[in-house]
Structure 1
Amino acid sequence: MLPLVSSYLRQAVSLSLYPRAGLPLPLYPRAAMSVSIQLQPSPRCLFDEPLEVRVSGLSPLQQVTLKAWLRDEKEQLFHSAAFYTADPRGQLDLAHSPSLGGHYTGVQPMGLFWSLSPVTPFTRLVKRDVATSPLSVHIEIFEGHWSLGQLPAQPLATAINQRWFMKEGLLRIPVREGRIRGTLFIPPGNGPFPGVISVNEIKGGLLEYRSSLLANHGFTTLALAYHNYDDLPKGVINLDLGYFEEAVHFLKQHPKVKGLGVGAIGISKGADLVLSMAAFLPDVRAAVVINGCITSAEFGLSFKNKLISTGLRHTVSRMKIADSGVADVSEVINEVDKGSIIPIENTKGTILFIAGEEDKNWNSKHYVDEAVKRLKEHGNDRFEVLHYRGSGHYLEPPFFPFCYASYHSVLNICTKWGGNAKDHSSAQVESWQKIQAFFRKILHQ
């Protein structure tokens, strides 16, 4: 029997590595038991939690296609697919079974999730309602190896994974305190907990998913809006750092917040705001700067009636447009005015810089290198650095699908963000753990 099994295995691997669209593949005898998909430890989990996907009831060495799909809050469809071969017992375990083709290859336990791609090009998956609805990922298995457009009408089995953003007992409290507009998340339990402010990218409004996910891990978090939300200004020329100082004081004094200060985390435009907070506000003890700049991007920044930075500008004529219509904007950013560089050497707290080395929005690695150089020149060693090869601009919490390109709210065009799906996803998983460990280390002091 062993030579026969070996022969079938070689045939399965060969065909699945090079599937021919529309050509039926050899079918194996149906197993006596029905096919089922098991999601462990539960079909319901938090969005940043890994999931074990297993299949039983297949025929030995049966070739199958696994498909995942979800619809976002705007009914946009995202989907992924991968080709697998069952083991001699008719089982699959994505933690050990390699994908032989499709949206990813190799052993990737969460590959179906991070490789989800939009059916409508240039769509980024963003979750706004973190309180009342999950993102539901449908997982289906089909006989044979097929592209997404050629799958059989009926799957062999289906399962649904509900991925939530708030754990049971987590409190979500809208904040309208003085000028502050945002949402506070308080973990279950007596507390107090380390406090963290989350600041998002330049598009405005209020995004809460990063804050809610952090709060699930034991942080009192404030998702802070800073323009184009509620009664905050829509047309902004200069931002006032005093607004962020109010937010720091609000969070620090909250009875559910512990310690001598608070943390702050920001991505893209939010990252340079967090860097400014760390430089000027001594109560910011821990700052996480994700793919940020060393000056104020786009908007000017003032503090106590003094202009700190005139804002990083760009030259649109240096933009490159691909045949697909997607823009490469990596060279449109102008040189940073040395007089506008954030005086990060004054930081009393500790900074964690995170840079995607293939960021195409701007050269994040260069800005981190310049920041570290400046800190060292001034004898400030309170910083840590994480560089990620193959990673692009939007480094999100784990298992958010890789976004190759989407609409740029400043340049009003679809732009590519850089990186590749596999490396970017790995960076999201690792950096998320490092961020939590960093905040715990600094804010528990």
Structure 2
Amino acid sequence: PRRRAVSVAVTPAAGLADERVETRVAGLGPGQPVTLRAVAADERGCLFQSCAHYRADSRGELHLGTDASHGGDYTGVEPMGLFWSLAPAGMERPYQRLVPRSTGTPMKVEMLVHQGHSQSSAIPGPVVAKAEVERWFTAPGVRRIRLKEGGVRGSLFLPPGDGPFPGVIDMYGDEGGLIEFRSSLLATRGFAALSLPYFDFEDLPKVMKEFKLEYFEEAARFLQRHPKVKGPGIGVIGTGKGAELALSMITFLPEVVAAVSISGCSSNTVADLHYGEMTLPGLRFDMNKVSVSDAGVFDTFEALDDPTNPANSPSTIPIEKAEGHFLLVVGEDDRMWKSSLYAELAIGRLRQHGKENFELLSYPGAGHRIDPPSTPFCQVAMDRVLGVPVLGGGESKAHAHAQEHSWGKIQEFLHLHLG
């Protein structure tokens, strides 16, 4: 009898980027070896791909939720492995991140089934089936409002409906500009989320030289007073430099009652932070302490001034003054800087003042930038400030699991403290 055609089904074919999909292949021969490959392009047309080796079961079927990959970019049972292991294709510039620049259009991923087992660098075997899947970063009815009020810039994402909704300010790190995809996902999950840039965007300062906390205070007051935002307090989530700014905001601004710090430092870094008459000087990076690998990858792990050195105590953020609650999220293999140590220092400082207003999520094997689920893992990324590839650390599978676990915990924490 003629063999039936091979088919691959990905469900849902269009869904939210922070949700899992189910991938099934049917119509293969019993035990047939195949390579599954995912291909996506970013807004600039740069191609990203991933691959994994599977064998069909006795019925000629495959289910990525229960069947293990035996090779390729990951091994084991990883239903979302093809998504989080997407990396620049061979002919592209390496060290690029696949992050959506616009949240209104989906990321399209093509899923291909190839005959035989082939590595991502090799030419794959013939395609026997393919399907396309759309990953959306916003849900129908979520509104995006570009801010031009007063001095505050960025985008406010509002969930559908009358609200009021818990309000959250969302900030990224030293890459600057406006990064919206986490805010639009938070709005999809029921938060009024303000994606807040703080340099290198529109009329904001071009570089991180010095910051005034008054800018962040104006953003906090704007969000807190918004008719769609439920009070009395708001939350802040930040990654890297944004995490450290979140710690300063909850410390000095009464509007902020919950702070999520992802891979943050417990001291102010790089740029001095002013608030009224007060200044927290920024710890500096010592470029002599940066090591460079044979491949030209920079490792900045040892380069930041030591926050435990008494001479650097003026830079310490006095988080014990905060009335609100902290969620500290760290990857234990962060190579950008010592975020595990910084979380320990923060917790030590709170405990020293008799405070237990914190939770710690510490992930073995995870690197620096812990993003929403299935965000492709990027161990080394081009640094916009330095213009060179910098090691973020981490191992892909552990990092992917940290992203999935922390995303649920972050939402729980924000709901608990913002209502």
* Equivalent position of 1:203 in the other structure: 175
Matching of residue 186 in structure 1 with residue 161 in structure 2: no
Q: Which runs of 4+ in 1 moved over 2 A?
A: 148-154, 409-412
* Equivalent position of 1:386 in the other structure: 361
On the 8 A contact 1:279/1:345 being kept in 2, the answer is: yes
* Equivalent position of 1:127 in the other structure: 100
SS where residue 163 of structure 1 aligns?
strand
Instruction: From 261, 264, 271, give the equivalent of 2:236.
Output: 264
SS where residue 153 of structure 2 aligns?
strand
Matched AA of 1:101: G
Instruction: From 44, 54, 66, give the equivalent of 1:74.
Output: 44
- Normalized against structure 1, the TM-score is what? 0.91
Matching of residue 217 in structure 1 with residue 189 in structure 2: yes
Q: CA separation in 1, counterparts of 2:180 and 2:267?
A: 25
SS where residue 247 of structure 1 aligns?
helix
- Normalized against structure 2, the TM-score is what? 0.96
Q: CA separation in 2, counterparts of 1:33 and 1:305?
A: 76
1:107-118 aligned within 5 A: 107-118=77-88
* Equivalent position of 1:240 in the other structure: 212
On the 8 A contact 2:33/2:54 being kept in 1, the answer is: yes
Matching of residue 374 in structure 1 with residue 349 in structure 2: yes
Matching of residue 62 in structure 1 with residue 62 in structure 2: no
On the 8 A contact 1:31/1:58 being kept in 2, the answer is: no
Q: Give how far 1:44 is off.
A: 0.4
Query: Aligned-residue CA RMSD in angstroms?
Result: 1.2
Q: Give how far 1:153 is off.
A: 5.9
Q: Give how far 1:406 is off.
A: 1.3
* Equivalent position of 2:328 in the other structure: 353
Q: Give how far 1:246 is off.
A: 0.6
Q: Give how far 1:237 is off.
A: 2.2
Q: CA separation in 1, counterparts of 2:123 and 2:58?
A: 24
Matched AA of 1:35: V
Q: Give how far 1:236 is off.
A: 4.1
Matching of residue 422 in structure 1 with residue 397 in structure 2: yes
Structure 1 range deviating more: 297-306 or 218-227: 297-306
* Equivalent position of 2:61 in the other structure: 91
Matched AA of 1:398: P
Count matched residues.
412
Q: CA separation in 2, counterparts of 1:126 and 1:62?
A: 34
* Equivalent position of 1:161 in the other structure: 133
Q: Give how far 1:61 is off.
A: 1.2
Q: CA separation in 1, counterparts of 2:175 and 2:381?
A: 12
Residue deviations 1:372-405 (CA, integer Å, cap 9, x gap): 0000011121111110000000111100111010
Matching of residue 329 in structure 1 with residue 304 in structure 2: no
SS where residue 127 of structure 2 aligns?
coil
On the 8 A contact 1:31/1:57 being kept in 2, the answer is: no
Instruction: From 213, 234, 256, give the equivalent of 1:284.
Output: 256
Q: Give how far 1:60 is off.
A: 1.3
On the 8 A contact 2:114/2:125 being kept in 1, the answer is: no
Q: Which runs of 5+ in 2 are unaligned?
A: none
On the 8 A contact 1:31/1:59 being kept in 2, the answer is: no
Instruction: From 325, 342, 355, give the equivalent of 2:317.
Output: 342
Q: CA separation in 1, counterparts of 2:386 and 2:119?
A: 35
Q: CA separation in 1, counterparts of 2:124 and 2:152?
A: 53
Q: Give how far 1:245 is off.
A: 0.6
Residue deviations 1:128-179 (CA, integer Å, cap 9, x gap): 1111x21111100011111234444641011111111110010011011110
Structure 1 range deviating more: 229-238 or 286-295: 229-238
Q: CA separation in 2, counterparts of 1:251 and 1:317?
A: 42
Q: CA separation in 2, counterparts of 1:54 and 1:239?
A: 51
On the 8 A contact 1:142/1:151 being kept in 2, the answer is: no
* Equivalent position of 1:48 in the other structure: 18
* Equivalent position of 1:403 in the other structure: 378
Q: CA separation in 1, counterparts of 2:390 and 2:205?
A: 26
On the 8 A contact 2:281/2:314 being kept in 1, the answer is: no
Residues 1:228 and 1:77: Cα distance change in structure 2 (over 3 Å): same
SS where residue 180 of structure 1 aligns?
coil
Q: CA separation in 2, counterparts of 1:146 and 1:281?
A: 55
Q: CA separation in 2, counterparts of 1:62 and 1:213?
A: 39
On the 8 A contact 1:70/1:136 being kept in 2, the answer is: yes
* Equivalent position of 1:148 in the other structure: 120
Matched AA of 2:118: W
The structure number with the bigger radius of gyration is 1
On the 8 A contact 1:286/1:442 being kept in 2, the answer is: yes
Matched AA of 1:405: V
1:305-316 aligned within 5 A: 305-307=277-279, 309-316=280-287
Q: CA separation in 2, counterparts of 1:415 and 1:56?
A: 42
* Equivalent position of 1:27 in the other structure: none
Identity of aligned residues (%): 45
Matched AA of 2:330: A
SS where residue 400 of structure 1 aligns?
coil
* Equivalent position of 2:199 in the other structure: 227
